[in-house]
Amino acid sequence: MSKSLVGNYIRKLRFDHNEMTQQQLADKVGVTRQTIVALEKGNYSPSLELAFRISHAFKLPLEEVFFYGENSEER
Amino acid sequence: MKAVSYMTYQEKKSIVSLISSILIFAAYCLYKYPQYPEGVMESKEIFHYWGSFVLVLTLVSIAAHIVISIIFNIFFRMTTGEKEPSFADELDKLIDLKAFRNSFFVFILGFLLAMGSLNFNQPSKVMFIILILSGFLSDVTGSLTRLYHYKKGV
């Protein structure tokens, strides 16, 4: 199974937000911790709804949490 | 930040489910198959035997899976100090759908083989064995699909 083309900065953003744990983020967006793990590993492209919920949890626009294709701009 | 690699709850559960399916099926077959009414040709007794084989296997599998799942959850809580997920989110549902699709494909293949065996004048015993094996293999396929997707992603 190839890595998802939709990448994200979730791991970094969690740490920038008071070292939020995976479980805390999962509770905020209504998924299991395992789904956050899969997202951070790049093993899963979230639904549009989940992507928006995660962006809202960080109070950031979608494109500052997710990117498509190669991550050319390292945050 | 160093990535921590470990098995998630779902991966562990898929492995437990896979092993328990194999053990339950093997143990049940070892217990039940010697009771096959030998020497009796296509009679009511034979169909009664296969009917009870499938029904009891289904009930035993369901009961054993429930018990094993409860024991696994208790063990998981004790060893990790973490609570098991109480709901299925979009990733779980997607993986379940994929597992169901593969599992269904295997069963239908087995069903067609079983019907084919009747077409080629095989005894009903062959047809029932293929049907039961395809049920078992479809269960194993479902567990393997879940394990694969939880490990490698969707």
Q: Which residue type, as a one-letter code, is found at position A69?
A: G
Q: Is the pLDDT of residue A48 over 70?
A: yes
What's the gap in Å between the CA of B96 and the closest CA on chain A? 14
Query: What domains lie within chain A, and their CATH numbers?
Result: 6-66 (1.10.260.40)
User: Shortest CB distance from B153 goes to which of A31, A32, A44?
Assistant: A44
- Calculate mean pLDDT across residues B54-67: 94
Phi, psi angle pair for B145, to nearest 5°: -65, -45
Asked if A35 has any chain B CB less than 8 Å from its own CB, the reply is yes
pLDDT-based confidence at residue B4 (cuts at 50, 70, 90): very low
| Residues, chain B | 154
Interface touch B91/A41, C-beta < 8 Å: no
User: What are the residue ranges spanned by the domains of chain B?
Assistant: 9-152
- From A54, A66, A59, A68, select the one nearest A24 (Cα to Cα): A54
What percent of chain B clears pLDDT 70, i.e. is strictly above it? 96
3-state secondary structure of A8: strand
pLDDT digits (tens, 9 = 90+) for B15-38: 999 999 999 999 999 999 888 887
B4: left (phi over 0), alpha (psi -120 to 50) or beta: beta
Please state, in angstroms and rounded to a whole number, the distance separating the CA atoms of residues A17 and A28.
13
Residues of chain B whose C-beta is under 8 A from some C-beta in A?
Answer: 1, 3, 8-10, 85, 87, 89-92, 148-150, 152-154
Higher model confidence: residue B71 or residue B84?
A: B71
Q: Is the pLDDT of residue A66 over 80?
A: yes
Q: Is the pLDDT of residue A59 over 50?
A: yes
CA B108 and chain centroid, separation? 15
Q: Given this model, what pLDDT does residue A25 score?
A: 95
pLDDT-based confidence at residue B1 (cuts at 50, 70, 90): very low
Please state, in angstroms and rounded to a whole number, the distance separating the CA atoms of residues A65 and B6.
25
Please state, in angstroms and rounded to a whole number, the distance separating the CA atoms of residues B47 and B122.
15
Q: Given this model, what pLDDT does residue B43 score?
A: 81
Q: Given this model, what pLDDT does residue B98 score?
A: 96
Q: Given this model, what pLDDT does residue B3 score?
A: 45
B121: left (phi over 0), alpha (psi -120 to 50) or beta: left
- Calculate mean pLDDT across residues B42-47: 83
Q: Let me know: does B66 contact B143? Beta carbons within 8 Å.
A: no
Q: Given this model, what pLDDT does residue A71 score?
A: 61
What percent of chain B clears pLDDT 90, i.e. is strictly above it? 69
Q: Is the pLDDT of residue B142 over 70?
A: yes
Q: Is the pLDDT of residue A73 over 90?
A: no
- From B89, B6, A35, B154, select the one nearest A10 (Cα to Cα): A35
User: Shortest CB distance from B153 goes to which of A31, A32, A38?
Assistant: A38
Contacts of B10 in chain A (CB under 8 A): 34
Asked if A3 has any chain B CB less than 8 Å from its own CB, the reply is yes
Kindly identify which residue of chain B lies nearest to residue A1, measuring between CA atoms. Answer: B152
**Neighbouring C-alpha atoms within 13 Å toward the C-beta of A47:** 12
